[in-house]
Structure 1
Amino acid sequence: MTRAVVLVTDPAQLALWRTLLTGEELTSAAPVVLRRHDRRSLRGWAQRVEMFHTEDRLDRLHDLTGGWPLLVGRAHRLHGELGDPDEVLRRLAGLRTNPAEARAFAEATGVYANPLLAVGYRALDDEFAEGPFDLESAVTAVAVRIEDEDEARWIANCLDTLQAFDREDTQLRLEPLLRQCVALRV
């Protein structure tokens, strides 16, 4: 007989995350990370909810939301209220210029759920900006800042789990929308 328990957590349970992401304790638990939408999954979502039908609108929706479910959900709600996809896209564009909205979004992603995560994120932004890096380079950049390699490894893995990075094979980049919002938050 096999038993399973599914726990859905958020950044408020970072102590549990540490155990799962670092492998410090022997456990049979396996984390499953819910990913941001990519262009393909966003297209499937748009077809399912019958919104943002054109390629141009889908591309713009992806660029303005970064695929973040929180923002895709906002687009869905706004579309229901306004019924005009172009107006929805105009309103979503305001996130990149409104410091209060940018702050709320950056905080909702979890990168500020722990002071060390915020320091780690800033270290990566300072070191790599928009450029590519791999996970080991991320660990090194954070370790240089906080002077603790074990903590740096946890921070890099946690930021990866929080979807703070875009992936291209083994190369990572700071996710652009989050990076812009973090810059406005300061």
Structure 2
Amino acid sequence: MSGPASAAPVVPRRHDHRSLRGWAQRVETVQTEDRLDRLHELTGGRPLLMDRAHRLHEELGDLDEVLRRLAGPRADRAEDRGFAEGTGVYADPLPAAGYRALDDEFKGGLFDLEGVVTAVALEIGDEDEARWIVNTGAAEDLLR
């Protein structure tokens, strides 16, 4: 019989600037350093967003248009839901409740860190847990 499961958070894998450069060379998407910097800024090196950028580039063939679309507001709610599910944020009910609170509270509007913590704390009833949820970085993924 196995022991209790660990409750340690899992940090999502992300590309740093160097590994992003290797990815860009493999998929032959980005040829200039400024575009590579912009791609990293818009995706944070998150593999799911990198895959989205690659699919858009294959579809459009224009990196500038891909970068514009990544920077613009998201219009495809199903794709956004797939991204959120892919990050694993819905696997644990506590962070999931926090993220739903953020979505309800801000609806794509402007926010600051304290406002985010407050919205999550009001939803789950625990400020320390709210800070943990926000500081895991997954809130950044969802609010990007």
Pick the TM interval, shorter chain.
Answer: 0.5 to 0.7
**Deviation, structure 1 residue 70:** 1.0
Q: Does 1:98 align with 2:75?
A: yes
Structure with greater strand percent: 1
**In the alignment, is residue 84 of structure 1 matched against residue 62 of structure 2?**
yes
Q: For the structure 1 residues 102 and 33, does the alpha-carbon distance in structure 2 shift closer, same or farther, using more than 3 Å as the test?
A: closer
Q: Unaligned stretches of 5+ in structure 2?
A: 106-110
Partner of 1:130: 113
Aligned: 1:119 with 2:83: no
Superposition CA RMSD, Å: 4.0
Identity %: 59
Aligned letter for 1:179? L
Aligned to 1:44: 22
Secondary structure class of the residue paired with 1:20: coil
How high is the TM-score relative to the length of structure 1? 0.50
Q: How does 1:37-186 map to 2 (within 5 A)?
A: 37-94=15-72, 96-98=73-75, 100=77, 101-121=79-99, 129-130=112-113, 145-147=124-126, 152=129, 156=132, 160=136, 164=138, 174-175=139-140, 177-180=141-144
| Distance in 1, Cα, partners of 2:82 & 2:100 | 17
Contact 2:57–2:66 (CA<8 Å) still a contact in 1? Answer: yes
CA distance in 1, matches of 2:34, 2:127: 46
- What SS does the aligned partner of 1:46 have? helix
Report the TM-score when normalising by structure 2.
0.61
Shift of residue 20 of structure 1? 2.7
Measured at CA, do residues 88 and 124 of structure 1 come closer, stay the same or move farther in structure 2, by a change above 3 Å? closer
Deviation, structure 1 residue 69: 0.5
Relative distance call for 1:89 and 1:108 in structure 2 (3 A) is same
1:119 is displaced (CA, Å) by: 2.8
How far off its partner does 1:103 sit? 3.8
| Alpha carbons of structure 1 residues 34 and 122: separation in structure 2 relative to 1, 3 Å | closer
The structure, 1 or 2, with the larger RCO (C-alpha pairs under 8 Å, 6+ apart) is 1
